Amino acid sequence: MTLTTRELRAAQPADAGRLRDIATAAYGLYLSRMDRPPAPLLADYGALVAKGQVSVLAVGGALVGFFVAFPRAADYFVENVAVSPACQGAGHGRFLMAAAEDAARTAGKDTLRLYTNEVMTENVAFYEGLGYVVEERRQEEGYRRIFFVKRL
């Protein structure tokens, strides 16, 4: 059995279109549950890449997922994590979240925060399974969000 190598790297400008494709596929599941497109479908991936906020996961040379994250004054914020639906279930989401935690440590942060939309129930279970704790629920920017925190 041959294992395919995972490669994590900073996103490059040429990746922006593929990031949008992955986000569209990954978040498309939720369109019927919401009254507006999920926020990741509205993101400007070119601008996020230019800011150095996107890390990508390639498997066998193909881009299969990414996360958008950055340090803030008191924490490290994970704004978005997405894995191509065709590649879900292989541990790539866990790998990306572990990489975000490593990035937080490298940035000198011991606290991670993130949110998900309340209708994205699959994500709630995923984050709780990784040790994230619900910090609060509130409406923000027209979305009903669940905010999580994890201390490293």
Q: Comparing C-alpha atoms, which of 117, 125, 122, 111 is closest to residue 141?
A: 117
Question: What are the tens digits of pLDDT across the range 35-93?
Answer: 999 999 999 999 999 999 999 999 988 999 999 999 999 999 999 999 999 999 899 99
Q: Is the Cα torsion angle 4, 63, 54, 122 positive or negative in sign? A: negative
pLDDT (0 to 100) of residue 29: 87
CATH number of 6-151: 3.40.630.30
- pTM, rounded to two decimals: 0.93
